[in-house]
Amino acid sequence: MAGLIFGFARASVVVYNRKIATTLIGRDFTFVATVSEKPEFKKNQTHLVIDDIQPNYTTDNIKSQAYAILAGEFKNINRSDTITIRGSPRSGFGDYVLSFYHPRLISVSKPNPPDYALLIRDRFI
């Protein structure tokens, strides 16, 4: 019974995030988001998984993940960074509620305090 209740609670959050995300598709906005996984660099592009997405026109954060492909290799972007991008999102795929193809990168800011797990991991690489 407890699993059923938690399942419904989780599903309601996912449905709410998808509802907000669908209103953004195809419209040009500025977004602030957090990089949630290590960026991948392929064919002069930066592939990012972002979450905690904040569109500039609303106070509603999208807590689900989105996928972004930036034109160029931005080696200064790392996990836990906060990025500001401008572009038109497309519908997502898989677990991603939105996808961005070549949005304009406006800014990158490092977290304060830093991501200590990332710092420790980078010492061993």
Domains detected in the chain = 2-112 (2.40.50)
Per the prediction, the chain carries an average pLDDT of 83
Q: Is the pTM of this model over 0.85?
A: no
Give the integer Cα–Cα distance in Å for 93 and 66: 9
Q: Which two tokens stand for residue 111?
A: 């977290």
Per the model's pLDDT, the better-predicted residue between 125 and 36 turns out to be 36
Q: Which two tokens stand for residue 36?
A: 């949630």
Q: What is the mean pLDDT of residues 23-41?
A: 89
Give the integer Cα–Cα distance in Å for 63 and 91: 16
> Residue 108: how many CA atoms within 13 Å on its side-chain side?
14
Q: What is the mean pLDDT of residues 88-108?
A: 91
> Reduced to 3 states, what is the DSSP secondary structure of residue 78?
coil
Partners of residue 99 on adjacent β-strands: 67, 90
